[in-house]
A and B are shown apart, each in its own frame.
Chain A
Amino acid sequence: MEELLRQLAEALKYVTGFIYPNEIELHWGLLIVLYPFLTGLVAGAFILASLERVFNVKEIQPTYRLSLLTALAFLLVAPLPLLAHLGHPERAFEIFLTPHFQSAMAMFGFVYAWYLMVVLLLEIWFDYRKDIVIWSNSKKRWRRILYSVLTLGVRSTSDQALAFDQKAGRFITIIGIPSAFLLHGYVGFIFGSVKANPWWSSVLMPVVFLFSAIVSGIALVLLIYMVSSWLRKTPIEMPCLDKLGHFLFYAMILDVSLELLDFVHRLYEAEESIDILAQMVESRLFVSLVVVQVLVGTVVPLVSLAALRALKPRESVRKVVYFVVGAIVLVSIFFMRWNVVLGGQLFSKSLRGLTVYKIGIAGREGVVASTILVLLPFAILVILSLILPPWSGGARNKKSSESG
């Protein structure tokens, strides 16, 4: 508590104008910024995978299983920042025991559970099942036990069984697309439905969150594909990479259009909150929003990707551009979450003042903890790709999938 009081005393010095006395403590900090970022990556990676599965975009086939595992790795880590942030994490299960049906946060617990268990895990299981059965017969010792458990006791690899796997997988992907929309749209709704907060309260919030999630997911898979290919010393398939780049470009245009719409609408209506919000953007959020999210994070990638399409440079140039753009986009979308979550708390609900967010290094809400939480999914992804190698393309791939 002493640390908290010290931080609040420090923050009080930087308040400009008037804030309600209780508003000096910023309640949703770095951990809550991290959470929509991570779930956004999940939704985006999954939607990319479903593009391949449902819409038969053949070029990105090499990333299909990789996208699914990426989505799973990030989905497993996503609740951790939430748990860490709670005042009483040991009571978190109450959300499942007595969910308040009017609360978006409560319903999100079930959307998350649905998505994890019914969509993601099942899709992965159906796609890998044949391979798991084969591995449960061919591997030795603890690996044999692991794969045997993963078969869930269903060991048939008959044509009938495999055909069912295909059908089920496709069906799940089809319901998975709206589920992924719901997963991240809901996060947007958690903010967008707060009428007390003029920065958050907007019909467009769920939509903007969703499309920025898709953008971040594509960028993530693109980066992971490039990095994993380099690490494995396998050649990058350029048609795949180019296709990912195209999708990234289209998704970004959609996302930017929506955010621009929100921006123009706010400025045009210019209702009473506009003065303090403009002041906030010009002072507290100038670097994170104007510089990082918009100029570096949106304009640069859009221009670069457009240039690639127009100029069609050689392969090595395109690779560099994709990599840099992918990294910039990830940072940009992280800062979009930052600007939404923190922006909503940096101005007072009295519309008369601004406060500050002092980020710490140590502790639950510090930079170190958040860095670990961001790196953790990658570690999990490595483990997952050792257990369920995503390199051989999947059950429908004509190439051999027995090597593993």
Chain B
Amino acid sequence: MKEDHPLSVRSGPSTTNGDSPTAGNDRVTTRRDFLKCLIGFVPVVGLPILGLNLGALAATEKGREYDPAEHWYGMGIDVGLCIGCGRCVEACKEENNVPRDPYFFRTWVERYIKTPDGKMIVDSPNGGMNAFPPAGVSEQEILRTFYLPKLCNHCEKPPCVQVCPVGATFNTKDGVVLVDESYCIGCRYCIQACPYGARYLHPEKRVADKCTFCYHRITKGLRPACVEVCPTSARIFGETRRASTPLWRFVRTHEIHVLKPHLRTSPKVYYSDLDSEVR
């Protein structure tokens, strides 16, 4: 493993939300104690108390209130690093209580195989959650091949938000597109409007659902579950408007692509090594 491997900073404090690397040393004794504090918060903030503003929501490492205006989140995907293990798909379903059936995904992985005669074979069995069975294509018939993780792009100009008739889906001040479960009427217009297939209708709640960038984690200084478990750091989480964040480094050092740029949704999931045939 390289010395400057991004994960070698794992042994130090987290730099997910751009806090300075030394910040972690000043506050509560251990990370476990810190999390214990947060667990105390959870039942409190879980109740729909009117008027409770986000400030009371979570203490960051510096002990300050969380201020959404200081953040504008995005994600990076290094396509060349993805090994198609599907840990991200599983972790997402676990963390967010997504139905386990193979029809509802907040994130999934696709496999692309280009053959010498020009065909592109694409599949995503169960979203890639249990990795990929053999494709039935011999090595002779593979010109190039790669895995492609996908999720909600948390667009800056989301077409899903544009079409929601009641205001049940929206862009937060920190750049995350969320769904208001108790307000959504389940008309499914947003699901039609999403160019990326990122949304689904929750089969039990009967409302629209999708990736939230693990909002309940990132507002507490944690990383999204998919980023947490990725064994090769193919997923990078961070800020798109602040300079000291892993995502900023990623977009500095890689040639960046987004999905379906011609639709001008301004996605905030940035891909490096994105093959031009990916839709």
Contacts and interface: CB of A to CB of B under 8 A. Distances in A.
B163 A194 contact: yes
Contacts of B166: 91, 94-95, 97-100, 106
Nearest to B191: A27
Contacts of A91: 166, 183-185
B122 A350 contact: yes
Contacts of B162: 102-103
A153 interface: no
B199 interface: yes
Interface in A164-208: 190, 193-197
Contacts of B124: 18, 20-21
A8 B103 contact: yes
Contacts of B178: none
Given A98-B166, A105-B165, A195-B263, A349 B196 contact: yes
B176 interface: no
A87 B207 contact: yes
A193 B102 CA distance: 30
Contacts of A99: 165-166
* Interface hub of A12, A103, A345 (most chain B Cβ within 10 A): A103
Contacts of A190: 189
A52 interface: no
B192 A22 contact: no
Contacts of B122: 17-18, 350, 352
Contacts of A23: 197
A22 B168 CA distance: 20
A25 B279 contact: no
A103 B165 contact: yes
A105 B186 CA distance: 13
Interface SS of B by simple majority: loop
B197 A20 contact: yes
Given A8-B103, A197-B192, A88 B206 contact: yes
Contact of A196 (B103, B185, B187, B192): B192
A288 B203 CA distance: 29
Contacts of B159: 194-196
B200 A196 contact: no
A21 B103 contact: yes
A92 interface: yes
Nearest to B168: A94
Interface string A54-92: 000000000000000000000000000000011111011
A106 B195 CA distance: 21
Contacts of A106: 165-166
B193 interface: yes
Contacts of B186: 86-88
A4 B203 contact: yes
Nearest to A32: B188
B139 to A, nearest CB: 21
A109 B104 CA distance: 30
B274 to A, nearest CB: 14
Interface in A343-364: 344-345, 348-352
Contacts of B73: none
A345 B191 CA distance: 11
Interface in A1-28: 1, 4-5, 8, 12, 17-18, 20-25, 27-28
B200 A105 contact: no
Given A87-B201, A105-B165, A94 B192 contact: no
B105 interface: yes
Interface in A301-341: none
Interface string A94-121: 1101111011111001000000000000
Nearest to A272: B279
Contact of B101 (A5, A94, A351): A5
B192 A194 contact: yes
B127 interface: yes
Interface of B: 101-105, 108, 110, 120, 122-124, 126-127, 150, 159, 162-168, 183-189, 191-201, 203-207, 263, 279
7 contacts: A18-B123, A21-B126, A87-B201, A99-B166, A109-B165, A196-B194, A352-B279
3 closest A-B pairs by CB: A87-B186, A20-B197, A87-B206
